[in-house]
Amino acid sequence: MSRKNLSNLLDSMLDDSAAVQEAVEVRELEDAQRARVEAAAKASAPAAPSVPTLEEIEQLTGLTEADLREVMGTAAPDDILVVLATADDVLQRRILRNMSDESVLWLRQNLQHMEQVSDHERDQARGKLLKTANKLLAAGKIGLPDPASVGVEEAPDGERKELRELLVDLVQIASQSGPEALSELAESAGEPLLREGLSKVIAGESGEALRGELGVLRAELESRYAQRLKWMVEALAAIADRETPESFSERVFGDK
| pLDDT on residue 153 | 83
| pLDDT on residue 50 | 59
Tell me what the mean pLDDT of segment 59-72 comes to: 92
Per-residue pLDDT tens for 17-49?
444 455 445 455 445 444 443 444 444 444 444
pLDDT at 8 over 70: no
Q: Which residues are CB-contacts of 214 (< 8 A; sequence separation ≥ 6)?
A: 193, 196, 197, 200
Whole-model pTM: value is 0.54
Q: Which residues are CB-contacts of 95 (< 8 A; sequence separation ≥ 6)?
A: 60, 68, 72, 80, 83, 84, 87
Per-residue pLDDT tens for 206-249?
888 888 888 888 888 888 889 988 988 998 888 889 989 889 99
Contact (Cβ atoms closer than 8 angstroms) between residue 70 and residue 136 = yes
* 48-52, 64-68, 174-178, 186-190 — most confident range: 64-68
User: Cα separation of 134 and 113, whole Å?
Assistant: 30
